[in-house]
Structure 1
Amino acid sequence: MAHRPSPTTISADAASADAMFDQNHRLMEEIQRLHRNIARRPDGFEMGVRWHRTGVGVEYLYRQGQLVCRAGDLATALAAFDAIGQPGPEVAHGPADLRVLDVGDRDAADLADALASTLGRDDLVTPNHVLDSQVHMAMCPATEPVPSDGPVRDLPEPFGTRRSSVAVVDTGFVHALADEAGYQRFSAVTGDSRADAQVYADGSDRIEPYGGHGTAAAACLLAVSGAESTSVHVDSCLVGGAVDEVTVVDALTAAVESGADVVSLQAGMYTREHVASVAFAAFRDEVLAAHPDTVVVAAAGNNGSDEKFWPAAFDWVTSVGGLTEDGSARAGWSNHGEWVDVYAPGDNVTVPFPNGTYEYHGGVTAEFSGGHAVWSGTSFATPAVAGLIARRMIEDGVDAPTARDRVLADAADAELAGVGPRLLSD
């Protein structure tokens, strides 16, 4: 006799299907948001989306019309185009000795699949993947901002004779917010920091979803590092919440070559077939290897997954997961796994935030008037760890790699059972 599902089973299955539909509906809204934001970039491009085979969630994002490979692999890549009967690409030089292959209006992901099949390798020619401040199941920080009157919680200024220089690679800096929030430590942000150009929509007071993200990250860093012995440069490559990997490698290269001791990146990506990013691997070999005194810190992501998130998953990056507000547990939204180096509080963090009207999913709005928000995500745990490394440089008079090692040793001593090394900044 065939098994007949009970009404309870049918109801549970229907509820699960509804939840999947709601999740994908929201994800589609956020993808459309990224499409709009990217189109408004000075270097706007078309973003491609590869959905999971299950139809739930995104496998990876990529820049249409471009593939990437390393210079040493170019001849092999071009031969593979011939082997699959495709016209060869236009080739441009990228940062870190990368080669950017312009494939015109052909779908970059489909072309990468065909080339990988011929090459027998997935890591030689890849899409130019797109990073954003979350990706995968919900393309935003772990939560959306909630109005707050502040203030930011600061550690006392560190005592020491050494100075530290930190680069925050994010959405840029809202110079007006330094006055609105009254956050005095923004005095450490250098005058050449790039402005966040997409804070408000169309000249209105409507705050864009990623507006102020870089400014909030800079505040999280300065709350720990102090401002008297630290200078902070905020880059704006993550305009609109997303950036392709070649562009962010260019920004990282500029930060390292300008002399930054610590670089804090509040973004990441998943990749085609989960391979390690070709662009970031080239950055490590061609740029960072020549500047061994620079430390890179990156967000582990907010997907609640153990799937590797790049560039955080590289062993040369200090990857940061998120803890609950009191540091007693891993935040449910935080990515995790053996590739995450350290966890720090990233839940309900008070940060400076633009004043204006913010629209949440579903059309509900909130008015921000106190110059602050409460926000959650590894985007806010990451700069706190970068700030602790800068602080240790100042206090101990050591270089950034030594400071990082000492900070991670402290984290190992405070390891949280079942989670991993833990840092608490108070």
Structure 2
Amino acid sequence: MAPQRFREQFDQIQRSMPDVPLAMGPDDAAEFMYEKGVVLARDGEEARLVEDTVRAHFTETAGLVGEHVRRASPETNRSGITRIQVGDPGEGDRRGDRAVANALRALRAAEGRTGRRLVSRNHVVHIAPVNACPGDEPVPAQPTEQSNPAPAEGLYDADTAVGVLVIDTGLMRDYRSYPLLARAQGDFQIKECDDDGVLQQYVGHGTFIAGLVAAVAPNTDLTVSNALNDAGAVLESEFGDKLFEAVDKSGWPDILSLSAGTSNGRTDGLLGVQAFMDELRAQRTLLVAAAGNNGSATPFWPAAYADLPEYASSVLSVGALRSDGEFGACFSNHGGWVKVYAPGERLISALTGFIEPVPYVYQHSTYDDCRYGFSYACTCQSPRHTGVLSGDQADPDKPDQVMFEGLATWSGTSFATPVAAGMIASHMVAHKETDPRAARQQLLAGNPEFAEVRGAMVPALRPQTWRPVPAGTAGPGA
């Protein structure tokens, strides 16, 4: 039996959020995760309408008094979102939540009358997911390997440096030992290793991203926020506030690099980040966001805001190219809502262990074949390893362990995103352009590069210092 990657990662995230019962959605389709027993609504009159409508629905259809329908978070927050309890979070299992589904169904008529979305699941937002994580787990770089992309030429100039804010998992304690990150600032990863001194899963994600920005765009003021510190996951009801907190602390940057999100089965965004997205639109900041690693055309938010006309100028969604740069990576989400692609497979950047080597135990096993049906030697299969969570694999009690000593190889749209962000920052410096949104438009308009993704020719951003790596069997796959 092949590894059940989404379910393995579901369990990993559930362990990081022990007080929040989670379910898979929709209806065990394993596309996203959400909080059981709770829905979201906007504060004020809309929250009251949701409460009253759901209470009446349960009373009429299930013979219940509906007294269990109540505010779960009555306080007002920056995002203007209220959690409303509509069921017992302890009922059912992880395959779904009938009470939440019924609550959503109860509001359909009201939403049709108002022409406005009134209610939502409380989704789990996570670092850009296979299916809820990066495209693979990191692999130690060989001693002879250098960063890829390699450091671009250029000097730091405080007067012309572009401000880039990375909202992710935080910086590793020894990050300044990596020369490209010597000037970076921001939050540390709260806990890097477990009690046995083994690197925890997802740790180093933010540092890896920061290293990619610094390599592509040396003239940047780079700040990293650890808003997604806990296994890279946060509830949608908290996500908007965390984004606000990050920009309030650091100031609105020129470019915000975000390698996190979720699908939700809809085409109109996330209720929990709507206030932040509206504020973003009023700023000059460009949000560069990862398209996600589900190998799907389903919109992944916030990246998919790039396809909504009112946000198109303020958001750029980024998919991943495979290591040869000619085709899309097998794991990359795709579709018209993904506006550009950049190298995102087997990139090399800073992880940890520059001062002292750090052990890592693989959590997930590789597959015998590409899970998406591609024919090249993708990261689904190579390099092979056995993980702790894949109990049906060979030698489940002997997971593979490696040592990280600085640089690592890693894959995902998480990492294509900072490459694209770095290229926009470099364009701003080279052309003395102070508007990041104008720089994005100029860069894409003057870019002659394309790649093939699922049979479509799409814009591709490839840094000059990036070295393509042969992808094995030729051809774009399935």
Q: Which has the higher helix share?
A: 1
Shift in alpha-carbon separation, 1:238–1:410, aligned structure 2, 3 A: farther
Q: Separation in 2 of the partners of 1:146 and 1:52? A: 33
Shift in alpha-carbon separation, 1:345–1:33, aligned structure 2, 3 A: same
Task: Please say if 1:188 is aligned against 2:226.
Answer: no
Q: Among residues 423, 436, 448, which one is paired with 1:400 in the alignment?
A: 436
Cα drift, residue 416 of structure 1: 2.5
Q: Separation in 2 of the partners of 1:66 and 1:156? A: 51
Report matched runs for 1:101-116 at 5 Å.
101-102=84-85, 105-106=88-89, 109-116=97-104
Cα drift, residue 232 of structure 1: 2.1
Shift in alpha-carbon separation, 1:369–1:171, aligned structure 2, 3 A: closer
Q: Among residues 279, 282, 290, which one is paired with 2:275 in the alignment?
A: 282
- 5+ unaligned residues in a row in structure 1: which ranges? 1-17, 40-44
Q: Separation in 1 of the partners of 2:438 and 2:87? A: 46
Partner AA of 2:81 in structure 1: L
Cα drift, residue 233 of structure 1: 3.1
Q: Deviations over 1:152-209 (max 9, x none)?
A: 2211126875222111111111122332xxx21212312xx1211232112x321111
Q: Among residues 446, 460, 463, which one is paired with 1:422 in the alignment?
A: 460
Cα drift, residue 260 of structure 1: 1.4
Cα drift, residue 351 of structure 1: 1.5
Counterpart residue number, 1:409: 445
Q: Deviations over 1:36-84 (max 9, x none)?
A: 2234xxxxx414122555x5x5132113454222236223212213312
Q: Separation in 2 of the partners of 1:220 and 1:138? A: 23
Task: Please say if 1:94 is aligned against 2:77.
Answer: yes
Counterpart residue number, 1:359: 361
Q: Deviations over 1:307-333 (max 9, x none)?
A: 111111112321100002231111111
Partner AA of 2:53 in structure 1: A
The answer to whether the 8 Å contact 1:344/1:423 transfers is yes
SS in 1 for 2:191: coil
Report matched runs for 1:124-203 at 5 Å.
124-135=118-129, 138-148=131-141, 149=143, 150-152=145-147, 153-157=150-154, 161-179=159-177, 183-190=178-185, 193-202=186-195
Counterpart residue number, 1:325: 323
Partner AA of 1:269 in structure 2: T
The answer to whether the 8 Å contact 1:344/1:422 transfers is yes
Shift in alpha-carbon separation, 1:155–1:246, aligned structure 2, 3 A: farther
Q: Separation in 2 of the partners of 1:251 and 1:313? A: 19
The answer to whether the 8 Å contact 1:216/1:351 transfers is yes
Q: Separation in 2 of the partners of 1:213 and 1:159? A: 24
Q: Separation in 2 of the partners of 1:347 and 1:377? A: 6
Counterpart residue number, 1:390: 425
Q: Among residues 379, 391, 408, which one is paired with 2:414 in the alignment?
A: 379
Give the 4+ runs in structure 1 shifted more than 6 A. none
Q: Separation in 2 of the partners of 1:389 and 1:158? A: 17
Q: Among residues 44, 50, 58, which one is paired with 2:30 in the alignment?
A: 58
Q: Separation in 1 of the partners of 2:240 and 2:86? A: 21
Q: Separation in 2 of the partners of 1:238 and 1:331? A: 26
Q: Among residues 317, 337, 340, which one is paired with 1:339 in the alignment?
A: 337
SS in 1 for 2:252: coil
The answer to whether the 8 Å contact 1:300/1:336 transfers is yes
SS in 1 for 2:225: strand
Shift in alpha-carbon separation, 1:331–1:154, aligned structure 2, 3 A: same
Counterpart residue number, 2:12: 33
Partner AA of 2:8 in structure 1: E
Matched-pair identity in %: 30
Shift in alpha-carbon separation, 1:405–1:173, aligned structure 2, 3 A: same
Q: Separation in 1 of the partners of 2:327 and 2:400? A: 31
Shift in alpha-carbon separation, 1:188–1:126, aligned structure 2, 3 A: same
Partner AA of 1:125 in structure 2: V
SS in 1 for 2:342: strand
Q: Deviations over 1:238-287 (max 9, x none)?
A: 421211123221222234442212111111111155652112233222x2
TM-score computed with the length of structure 1 as normaliser: 0.83
Shift in alpha-carbon separation, 1:105–1:116, aligned structure 2, 3 A: closer
SS in 2 for 1:326: coil
Shift in alpha-carbon separation, 1:50–1:274, aligned structure 2, 3 A: farther
Report matched runs for 1:260-339 at 5 Å.
260-272=253-265, 276-285=269-278, 287-291=279-283, 293-315=284-306, 316=311, 317-339=315-337
